[in-house]
Structure 1
Amino acid sequence: MDLKFSIIVPVYNRPQEIDELLESLTKQDFQDDFEVLIIEDGSENSSEEVVKKYTSKLNLNYFYKDNSGAGASRNYGMERASGNYFIILDSDVIVPPQYLSEVKKALEYNYTDAFGGPDAAHPSFTALQKAINYSMTSVLTTGGIRGKKKAVGKFQPRSFNLGLSQIAFSKTKGFDNLKVGEDIDLTFRLWENGFETQLINKAFVYHKRRSTIKQFFKQTFAFGTARPILNKKYPETTKLTYWFPSLFIIGIDFAIIAAFFWYWQLLTFYGIYFTCIFLDSLLQNKNLKVALLSVVTTITQFYGYGLGFLESRFLKK
């Protein structure tokens, strides 16, 4: 199959991120032609002037539309793309030079109508961004489901780094109107329609994610609220492991209360776990500050996701 890539990037009020992303795309070692579509989702702080800087360096198309959310903006871009294979990227990623070459190589070796790639922390990222990246990708925190080699089961691509064939888009109609979890929803519909997905481990991107603890908590809370909605929509995909963050934070609270009555054993268990988080992050990042912050971001992640899950499961109709 002759692959023709169209890169789709929705953006909302983040011109600086688009600047960094487009700059990284100009440095691809990829020899074939590819196009880039920037979909401005009703931003007040437009990226148009930034995009103009790259029109002579990239095959670039800019579209401005009313705000409708990232999923609808991705669909908007795919509907207007000229390629036969779409690559969806978030605006807050930086793409390493070999990215497109690795995607093509993997698809030529093992073609699937959808793929996902992992994310990594760029050396220029702040200590907090590196800690957030650790918490979101570590086998000790998420089981590696976001793109580690040790991930188990069928791989569920995430929308920050996702590929989709034009055929699969036409069949599934792309992303649903969910505000969160729309990428998982798309994966389930791909499987229902007989399409295969795969992890292309070498097709990683540098993903900035959120830059404050408050923003990270808000993001993970939203992830947690999405899961019960998806479980209800696709009951056959429900797993007990989705309850783990909620049970984890309930256990922490119980352990703290028990410690006031001199029952330290349960709190000791959590102490051992967070010590492992610290040591593992220190081993991976070679940075004491990042390792300490990884404990904070892991706690934030569990509380954000766990509380969001419980609220969506028991309080929302």
Structure 2
Amino acid sequence: MFFSIIIPLYNRPQEIKELLETLTLQTYRQFEVLVIEDGSVNDAEAIVNSFAGQLEVRYFKKPNEGQGFTRNFGFERAKGDYFIIFDSDCLIPANYLEIVNNSLNTNYLDAYGGPDGAHDSFTATQKAISYSMTSPFTTGGIRGNKKGIGQFHPRSFNMGVSRQVVEKVGGFIITRLGEDIEYSIRIHKAGFKIGLIPDAVVFHKRRTNFLQFHKQLHFFGRARINIYKFFPGELKAVHFFPAAFTLFIAFALISNILQWQIATLCNYLLLVYILLIFFHAWWRNKSAKIAFLSIIAAFTQLTAYGLGFMQDFWKRVIFNRS
């Protein structure tokens, strides 16, 4: 099988350098790389071209349209039997393509997704954010999990689709705000087989500080409502959890300020939750510092997502505004 790896890029030349370096180490060599610069000011043309002797790599420039339509640009120019999408802030283990190829030969999937993890080189904050996004004690626990709730929806930081899927379903029809989940749902509805390849892990840097992480998760919360506008049946009870958590935090603060009796119970519940995160993160990362930062990451994730979710639920569902 010949793979086409498609990477949208926007003003991140150093990231693409690190990603391409990991691709030069792949044990499975039947692949090409398409890097599509999506209207960047700080482009990576020289960096990408420096890999020409190590990879079958092609570089393109186009006006800014967002990652969804940029991936479509790659689909139209790819030569492969199977298209793999990475975010530019990922590092790819050397055996990634070998794992995917062997898995597809054993149990073919028309589209797949893989989990993400933290690389040893990541900062403590990045490792804490990675923990939060993959922890069973946050909504991130349903990502990259074979026992997730409902249908499995690959995420575009680590996602593959066959040429047949693109030819029948087409590409992305929205470019941001949950474009990967919307695409996965359409692939499901077209009758194609989608699944998780649990060993096809990538190391995903995500954000480097909690302010950036807050902005990203606020955007994710809004994206869930955007998906609802396309597919109302895809809004599940679990998607309301971050909003409920955010409201609970607000209620706990008010009850403590006004010295209500229920404040003691609220504080107890929050303490139990904090301790669960701390000790689980410590066990997983073997670091008290990362465990402490994981508490901040988890609260940032849930409240930012919850605020974004409530903002667009109020505006686009209650008031039905565009």
TM interval, shorter chain, is over 0.9
Matched, 1:102 2:99: yes
- Which whole-Å CA distance do the structure 2 matches of 1:151 and 1:228 have between them? 20
Match of 1:68 among 54, 65, 69: 65
Aligned to 1:117: 114
Name the residue aligned to 1:39.
36
Mapped partners of 1:6, 1:232: distance in 2: 32
Tell me what 1:202 maps to.
Answer: 199
Q: In the aligned structure 1, how far is the partner of 2:175 from the partner of 2:312?
A: 14
Give the secondary structure class of the aligned counterpart of 2:137.
helix
- Aligned twin of 1:78: 75
Deviates more, 1:265-274 or 1:299-308: 265-274
2:212 matches 1:215: yes
Query: 1:180 and 1:103 mapped to 2: Cα distance?
Result: 27
Offset at residue 232 of structure 1 (A): 2.4
Aligned-residue RMSD, C-alpha: 1.1
The offset of 1:151, in angstroms, is 2.7
2:234 corresponding residue in structure 1: 237
8 A contact 1:39–1:64 mirrored in 2: yes
> Does the 8 A contact of 1:14 with 1:91 survive in 2?
yes
User: Percent identity at matched positions?
Assistant: 48
Quote how far apart the aligned CAs of 1:275 are: 0.8
Query: How many Å separate the matches in 1 of 2:267 and 2:226?
Result: 32
- Helix, strand or coil for the counterpart of 2:33? strand
Give TM-score, length-normalised by structure 1: 0.97
Mapped to 2, the partners of 1:206 and 1:104 lie a distance apart of 19
Is the 8 Å Cα contact of residues 256 and 267 (structure 1) preserved in structure 2? no
Change beyond 3 A, Cα 1:51–1:303: same
For 1:267, the equivalent position in structure 2 comes to 267
Equivalent pairs counted in the alignment come to 314
**In structure 1, C-alpha distance between the alignment counterparts of 2:244 and 2:30, rounded to whole Å:** 49
Query: What TM-score results when the alignment is normalised by the length of structure 2?
Result: 0.95
> How far off is 1:228 after superposition?
1.5
CA contact (8 A) 1:144 1:150 kept: no
One-letter code of the match for 2:52? T
Q: Which runs of 5+ in 1 are unaligned?
A: none
Distance in 2 separating the partners of 1:315 and 1:200: 37
**Matched residue SS, 1:254:** helix
1:133 equivalent in alignment to 2:130: yes
The structural deviation recorded for 1:53 is 1.3
How far apart are the structure 2 equivalents of 1:196 and 1:180?
A: 24
Deviations 1:150-206, CA, capped at 9 Å, x for gaps: 434321100000000111011121112241200000011001100111110110000
> Are residue 188 (structure 1) and residue 185 (structure 2) matched?
yes
**Which deviations, in whole Å up to 9, do the C-alpha atoms of 1:192-241 show, x marking residues without a partner?**
10011111011000000011111100000000001112112111222111
Match for residue 13 of structure 1? 11
**Deviation by residue 1:231-260 (Cα, 9 ceiling, x = unmatched):** 121112221111110011101111122123
Structure 2 residue identity aligned to 1:217: H
1: CA distance, partners of 2:243 / 2:20:
39
Distance 1:254 1:238 in 2: 25
8 Å contact kept, 2:221–2:305 = yes
After alignment, is 128-137 or 170-179 more displaced? 170-179
SS in 2 for 1:144: helix
